[in-house]
Structure 1
């Protein structure tokens, strides 16, 4: 982290980042769509819905890719469309079973590049695309994918179970590059073999089965701090994190700043909370598959996310007043 990088500048960069601000509409959508069902164990606020099926859980998720990425690099957009869905199931401690997609495109060349990226990612992770819907000759380019996964009901990892005093762990594969077509993406996946990628996502399933973490989310468009904020928001907790503890590549060698790094989509990365006695084992499992993993802070009861660096502290979010996914009062 650069010595001239202040906590105030980092906090402002996170709060104003589009990957964070575009989440504000979620709360209004939830109010419009939420419907209780006895078999739905968890839904909005989780990376995947949890649907009871006897002693097992079906995990259902969907994700889409920004049109900016589609236009910048359709192949990478297709690859990421699969990748982010695989991560949603992994973050819940599950095995991904299959995917379906909805693809809208302006021309055939773009369509072929998107589907090539999707196919390569599906092969890399061993999760088939089994159907979907096609909108040809549209005035826009969009790829949306839905995914089905499964795990035992007692092994699900939720986002809203972080507890006071839990350690916050960031696990990220730093062996990658700034993607040449998208400066806000860290590509740590396209150059890896299938077994490496599959072993990295399998870590989450083992952590769920062994009950070693209290909460988790995959690091997505809001970046490292923004994703942690979403986890704390649904857990109704706060935290203080040390910026210098966040795993990062050689920033100078990659031509990026620290503020850039903490907003990036990291390719393969998770934010987790765990009881202090489980920290060493959680980090060991990630490091075994080539990922950097370390404690970056501690959960507390304040409902405020605070960042610190060399004695300088700044509040990023106060979830008792306003949240990433909409005003706090709308979720009470």
Structure 2
């Protein structure tokens, strides 16, 4: 239940609800209502719903399920990259939960084979790059336009979760700065053209953090950007916090306002006990991933932004929910 836009890079999901400027996303809220997400956990399952993946308790860990759907214009205008993103973004969701991907399935509709070919080629490239097989799906070559959705299955021994952050932890941002904008869009591409083995090993940092106990709470940076993604994490955990926007890792030649709005191909936010913060940063640094402490959590339910000596309130979750998946929402 995610949707990716080629223009403002919008994701609409129970865990991805920002559209440009912070605003409550009505479609996400209505989806939550229809699927009875107004309880901290789904009936019969003690794993909270509303994270980067659905997590289903298994005998020796968790099965992870995620799905991405793409807007028609994006698929029509950039078919190869849409196919590539179908795998790449799903893979990121699995790793954001502390898991490793197993396999991908897709649903593709198009007006003939000529429209489907570049989409499938993009998917095939990403599947090879990330080492995740496409094992099946559904196709229809008699549609009036190209359409694409992709789903993924993964497995985790221990979870990283948006619901596991605690007060008085440090907020970290880890972003691969070795990329470029896919102009004119707000996509920071550090994936296409990069060495596949390096990309896979870079992602292995996330399950390592989960399995060593260095971190329990993380989220991949969605099209809501660094700040919007952190706001979602804080809401899910029933917290507030402060973010120093000047501490967020970014390339030296990139404008801060644009950087805060971008969707990076490799980007994660984490909430980490202060005693473990240095070790977590070191693990990312060994992979040449930019990582820094950018703020702290608290129990206020209010997210503030800091720049120098100035601090301003961005969102008060006590008075207005953002995505409707946190423990403090009104049922």
Tell me if TM exceeds 0.5.
Answer: yes
**5+ residue gaps in structure 2?**
1-16
2:290 to 292, 316, 330: 292
Of 258, 275, 278, which residue of structure 2 is paired with 1:277? Answer: 275
The count of corresponding residues between Structure 1 and Structure 2 is 310
Q: Secondary structure at the match of 1:156?
A: coil
The structure carrying a bigger helix percent of its residues is: 1
In 2, distance between residues paired with 1:330 and 1:113?
43
Which secondary structure state, in structure 2, belongs to the residue aligned with residue 248 of structure 1? coil
User: How far apart, CA to CA, are the structure 2 residues paired with 1:174 and 1:90?
Assistant: 18
121, 125, 131: which one pairs with 2:130? Answer: 125
Shift of 1:65: 2.5
* Cα distance, 1:95 vs structure 2: 1.0
Q: Deviations over 1:203-256 (max 9, x none)?
A: 00100001111310001111111111110111110110101100111335xxxx
2:115 match: secondary structure: helix
Name the counterpart of 1:174.
Answer: 177
Question: Which residue in 1 is equivalent to 2:10?
Answer: none
Structure 1 residue 267 corresponds to structure 2 residue 265: yes
Residue 165 of structure 1 corresponds to which residue in structure 2?
Answer: 168
1:223 to 207, 222, 225: 225
1:113 CA drift (Å)? 1.2
Which residue pairs with 1:138 in the alignment?
Answer: 143
Secondary structure at the aligned position of 2:136 is classed as strand
Which stretches of structure 1, 4 residues or longer, exceed 6 Å deviation after superposition?
none
* 1:309-320 alignment, distance < 5 Å: 309-320=307-318
Can you list the C-alpha shifts for 1:144-202, whole angstroms capped at 9, x where unaligned?
111111122xx11111111111000000000010114x521000001211111101111
CA distance in 1, matches of 2:243, 2:82: 32
Residues 1:137 and 1:321: Cα distance change in structure 2 (over 3 Å): farther
Q: Aligned in 2, Cα 1:84/1:20: closer, same or farther, shift over 3 Å?
A: farther
Q: For the aligned residues, what is the CA RMSD?
A: 2.1
Following superposition, the deviation at residue 138 of structure 1 comes to 2.3
